[in-house]
Structure 1
Amino acid sequence: MKRGRLPLTALRSFEAAGRLESFTLAASELFVSQAAISRQVRELEELIGRPLFERLHRGVRLTADGQALLGTLTSAFDMVGESLDALSGRRLSQTLKVSAEPSFAGCWLVPHLQEFQEAHPEIDLVIDAESRLAEFRSGEADIAIRHSLTARAWSRVEARPLAEVEMVPVITPALAGAGPPLDRPEDLLQHPLLHEDNRQLWEQWFAAAGTAPVKLARGAIFADGSMVLQATLRGSGVGLIDRDHARDDIAAGRLIQPFDASVPYGAFFIVARRFEALSEAARAFVDWIERSYPGAGRKR
């Protein structure tokens, strides 16, 4: 068919209907009526003399000819769009607002954001460190990462488990070498212990490590785990840190984990208003988190 006779409007209508497998969704995407989509597709079928859809009782299904034409059209339209973006010097930019638990944001998310940005340069991230339950009102966030000690679900939102949290002791090599050898868990008591929220978690860890009961009345208390991690890295004491958040520093030799014992401390969750309604950018972020976070999917 000569280029001057190509039915471009009908081809665009067919491509949207075939890709979405719905005349109704195609009409919504192209801002026209369902009747207009149906008419354009019917005229295209009459022009080429072949049916492109099977009309079913509740929807439509592509024929073999329709599938072949759809593959060509979708690829062609994508190439045209990419060429126009390149010529105009613009990339398709999307803004994604992520609300993350402060410890998660400071210890893992921010240090690894470059990996996401390199994979998705078209997405501009807005990161907010927040611990209160996300309500997703007034565009405050598209996706949230939250921690909970006991809860597994919340009203008005959907939550997907990301990782169970295991707290482990870490210390800088310099501090560990400044005193007697750390042969037993009790030997950690010769150094300052750094606490998150309260001193009970360290007491629970010593119990898990099999020591005699330990009652702690002293030691700096920090508001979240990222502060504990920073203080530990500076040699201020021994930190009790989420295993996944200490992993990079242990691998790099900045910290050591002197004992294997750990204590459970709740879990992290990915939270959204409705996962099935997420934008393309939000889905890309969720997929990246679930692939990249070291403890994702780990069960105790």
Structure 2
Amino acid sequence: MVRRLPPLNALRAFEAAARLGSFTAAADELNVTPAAISHQVKSLEEYLNVELFVRLPRGLYLTDDGKAYLPDLTAGFDSLAHATDSLHGSRLDGLLAISVPPSFAQCWLMSRLPDFCKRYPQIDLRLESNAENSHFIKDQIDVGIRHGLGRYPGLRSRLIMTEEIYPVASPALLAGAHPLRTWNDLRYHTLLHDYVANDRERWLTWEPWLDLNGIHTVDVSRGLQFNNSAMMVDAALAGMGVMLGRTALVGQHVRDGRLVALFDSRRTADFSYYAVCPEATADKPRIRVFVDWLVQTAQSNG
């Protein structure tokens, strides 16, 4: 039987634009221009003699024909990706490229990574530490570790760990002239600030904590400011001040006694850590074992 198929590039352009909801996002994923995506989609509509999108000033909307066409196309491209992967069977050997936030890499991942390397010596790792989210295709990244709400259109995401936020300090500060026994004692100490803390993570800033506890004697405009959480952890370890710590970054230090959790106060963080990757490659053996290892390691020792 002769298969009657539209041009493959046009199908890829439509599937990506429909799945991601925009020509621009599809262009980023396929590493072409939005104009090229628009042209390919238009050519597909002419080939099929149907309208797949309603184009409005505020965005794209799938027609009923577009909605009906998309699921089978996505499944087809996933099958093609899986068929290609299956050429290597269940082999794990090869390169695995990982993008990871700098603070998570320094404070959590690097101390645990020798365990993964020991378990899977046939996997060669390439780590890219970047505060910005890497582009999977352009930067040739297999797995990204992201700190957020877990909503990543077009990607498969898996929760690695949730977090709590709580004030911490070096034990040395508890033995000085003004031990940290109550929130009011903060007036005698230097506050450490993450000045790029996202507004949605309000508990990473001092104001809501002090307001909640009725403290008006602490000047939150003073202190040391950091744009890198790992640097702030180092400052707290050195006894330079009091910080609002996150589980992934300070948990091990608290368990080992290098930092002390203060005032018996904790809040659940809005953001969590997720492992994300393109849906088409999520079941590759190397990716699957690494993500499984991340989750199991976080569950076993935080």
The reply to whether TM is greater than 0.5 is: yes
TM-score (ref. length: structure 2): 0.62
Alpha carbons 1:173, 1:254 under 8 Å: kept = yes
Q: Distance in 2 between matches of 1:145 and 1:173?
A: 32
Q: Is the 8 A contact 1:169 1:241 kept in 2?
A: yes
Give the 3 Å change call, closer, same or farther, for CA 215–30 of structure 1 in structure 2. closer
Distance 1:131 1:26 in 2: 34
Q: Secondary structure at the match of 1:137?
A: coil
Q: Retained in 2: the 8 A contact 1:172–1:254?
A: yes
1:163 CA drift (Å): 2.5
8 Å contact kept, 1:203–1:216: yes
Which digits, 9 at most, give the CA deviation of each residue in 1:78-137, with x for residues without a partner?
9xx9xxxxxxxxxx7422111112221111011211121122122121111123233301
Task: Please give the alpha-carbon distance, in whole angstroms, between the structure 2 residues aligned to 1:120 and 1:180.
Answer: 50
Does structure 1 conserve the Cα–Cα contact (< 8 Å) formed by 2:282 and 2:288? no
Matches of 1:168 and 1:239 in 2, distance apart?
8
1:275 deviates by: 6.7
Question: What's 2:125 paired with?
Answer: 125
State the secondary structure of the residue aligned to 2:144. strand
- Provide the secondary structure at the position in 1 that maps to 2:154: coil
- Does residue 282 (structure 1) correspond to residue 280 (structure 2)? The answer is no
- Once residues 161 and 84 of structure 2 are traced to their aligned partners in structure 1, the CA distance between those partners, rounded to angstroms, is 41
Q: Residue 155 of structure 2 contacts residue 276 of structure 2 at CA under 8 Å; is this kept in 1?
A: yes
RMSD: 3.3
Shift of 1:26: 8.7
Separation (CA, whole Å) in 1 of partners of 2:83 and 2:102 = 41
Distance across 2 between alignment mates of 1:104 and 1:166:
15
Pairing partner for 1:229 from 233, 236, 248:
233
Segments of 4+ moved more than 3 angstroms? 25-31, 275-278
Residues 192-250 of structure 1 deviation map (CA, whole Å, 9 limit, x = unaligned): 11111258712223334x23355511111111221111111111111211023212111
Q: TM-score, normalised to structure 1's length?
A: 0.62
Native 8 Å contact 2:189 2:241 kept in 1: yes
Instruction: Check 1:158–1:237 CA distance in 2 against 1; reply closer, same or farther (3 A cut).
Output: same
* Structure 1 counterpart of 2:14: none
Q: Measured at CA, do residues 183 and 272 of structure 1 come closer, stay the same or move farther in structure 2, by a change above 3 Å? A: same
Aligned-pair identity in percent equals 30
Q: How does 1:166-181 map to 2 (within 5 A)?
A: 166-181=164-179
What CA distance in whole angstroms lies between the structure 2 residues aligned with 1:197 and 1:27?
A: 46
Which residue matches 1:242? 246
* Contact map agreement 1:157 1:271 (CA 8 A) in 2: yes
SS in 2 for 1:160: strand
Give the structure with higher Rg (CA).
1
* CA 175–122 in structure 1, closer or farther in 2 if over 3 Å, else same: same
Contact in 2 for aligned 1:107/1:225 (Cα 8 Å) = no
User: Number of aligned pairs?
Assistant: 214
Relative contact order (C-alpha < 8 Å, sep 6+): which is higher?
2
Structure 1 gaps of 5+ residues are 1-24, 32-73, 82-91
One-letter amino acid of the counterpart of residue 261, structure 1: S
Partner of 1:86: none
Counterpart amino acid of 1:182? L
Superposed, which structure 2 residues align to 1:129-278 within 5 Å? 129-148=129-148, 151-197=149-195, 201-208=205-212, 210-213=213-216, 216-263=220-267, 264-274=269-279, 277-278=282-283
